[in-house]
Amino acid sequence: MMKYKPNQTRTYDGEGFKRRAACLCFKSEKEDEVLLVSSSRHPDQWIVPGGGMEPEEEPCKAAIRETYEEAGVKGKLGRLLGIFEHNQDRKHRTYVYTLVVTETLEDWEDSVNIGRKRQWFKVDEAIRVLQSHKPDHAEYLRTLSNTCNPNCSPLFVPTNGNTPSSHMTDNNTPLYVVCSPQSSDLVNR
């Protein structure tokens, strides 16, 4: 399903969720500094670069495109961190990838058109900055510490406080993170 707006086409999956993609952009493979961009609606607040998928666009391509448009960076796309569902106000599913930045443009589309800014943050600081305005974006970074970076061994995360559950599934099923106002649960679907 698609919905047309004057400046963009919104795409939805079969369950009525808006299809989105984003990248957690890191300075290095250490994944200890992340790039945030200013919000277009609230220029004094920070967000993770990302946005809606175009019709027929693959999630990884949308994540790269949105990151380039909003943050003015290019890089090496890493792993799919997870697929995050947000059901509070607007239903959307966001595919979140990691990206190690290799090129930073001085001027980019959103800096020129809407005055968007970007800034590097330590991961813990970024979580604090995002928590009040975009708790769903803070959740991306919280999940980062619970997933396997290509240079580490797999980690296990308790889903109910008692039983460990791997983020990696035997059949490569993507990790879904369902966010709610009080907490988030990790769910393999």
- Non-local CB neighbours of 20 within 8 Å, separated by 6+ positions: 50, 51, 52, 53, 62, 92, 93, 94, 95
Q: Give the angle 52-183-15 at the CA atoms, nearest 5°.
A: 40
Centroid of chain to Cα 20: 9
Closest of 76, 54, 83 to residue 66, by C-alpha: 54
Give all strands (DSSP E) within 73-136, no chain letters. 73-86, 92-104, 118-122
Say if residues 85 and 180 touch (Cβ distance below 8 Å).
no
Q: Which of 33, 54, 69, 109 is catalytic?
A: 69
86: left (phi over 0), alpha (psi -120 to 50) or beta: beta
Intra-chain end-to-end CA distance of the chain, in Å: 22
Per DSSP, what are the bridge partners of residue 103? 74
Indicate if 69 belongs to the active site. yes
What are the residue numbers of the active site?
Answer: 69
